[in-house]
Amino acid sequence: MRDTRAELLAQAEVLVRGRGYSGFSYGDLAEAVNIRKASIHHHFRTKTDLAVALVRAYDARYDEALGSILSLQSDAVARVEAYGRYYLAGVEDGLGCLCAVLAIEMDTLPDVLRADIAQFFDKHIAWLERVLADGCADGSLRPGLDPAATARMVVATLEGALLLERLLAGSAGFRSTLATLCDSLKPPRTGSRNALSSGRDDTI
């Protein structure tokens, strides 16, 4: 028995991330999942309900990712790099970040949604701040680095790179930006620019 609700979420996410929130319709989604438009309302009463569910699911997947990075990587730079690699998947699939896509349409977004998105970013910034503060404490980061401000910058850089490189150089451009970002976090004179592993890690 197929899980229509899950299929709806999956396809809706692809559509929204590719063409924006108001750029996708129940009609598109119905076609993608191959059920009638009206049937979608059975699973998600309104379009806003669907969007909220989309963000919650996306957020939950990132929660898992953040946790797994902490347990797999112990070095601060490696953690940031691993975090960045989750964005890479988006570039490779030609999809923007769900929350960035929604944030663009802020002015017309329902309040619930706007709050959820803000929380999404706040959480990531807080997580990075923690990671960076730890890195400062153990000396693996450039001395004098401000964890709070740098955390904001990391999220901004990655979100921007995802937006940009999806349009321009593709994953090569994104990898270059991620490497440059990571380099700027390291203590000076370590010298060697770390070549980013080319393997794809996971999908978010």
Partner DNA sequence: GAAAATCTACCTGCTAGATGGTAGCCATAA
Partner DNA sequence: TTATGGCTACCATCTAGCAGGTAGATTTTC
Nearest to a copy of itself of 53, 145 (CB atom): 145
Q: How many residues bind a copy of itself (CB under 8 A)?
A: 53
**16 exposure class (CB count in 10 Å sphere: 0-12, 13-18, 19+):** buried
Q: How far is the CB of 53 from DNA (least distance, A)?
A: 13
* 12 sits near a copy of itself (criterion: CB under 8 A): no
Tell the residue number behind the tokens 């004179």, with chain if given: 189
Site residues for DNA, 44-63, by CB under 7 A, read 45-48
Q: CB nearer to a copy of itself: give 67 or 160.
A: 160
Question: Is position 13 an interface residue for a copy of itself (rule: CB under 8 A)?
Answer: no
Q: Which of residues 174-203 bind a copy of itself (CB under 8 A)?
A: 176-177, 179-181, 184, 188, 191, 193
**From the list a copy of itself, DNA, none, partner contacted by residue 157 (C-beta under 5 to 8 A by kind):** a copy of itself
Size of the site for DNA (CB under 7 A): 22
For residue 197, the tally of other CB atoms under 10 A from its CB is 10
Residue 51 as a binder of a copy of itself (CB under 8 A): the answer is no
Choose the one of DNA, a copy of itself, none that binds residue 173, judging by a C-beta under 5 to 8 angstroms depending on kind.
a copy of itself
* Tokens matching residue 179: 């490497």
Using the rule CB under 8 A, which residue among 76, 77, 82, 100 binds a copy of itself?
100
Q: Which one of a copy of itself, DNA, none is in contact with 35 (Cβ closer than 5 to 8 A by kind)? A: DNA
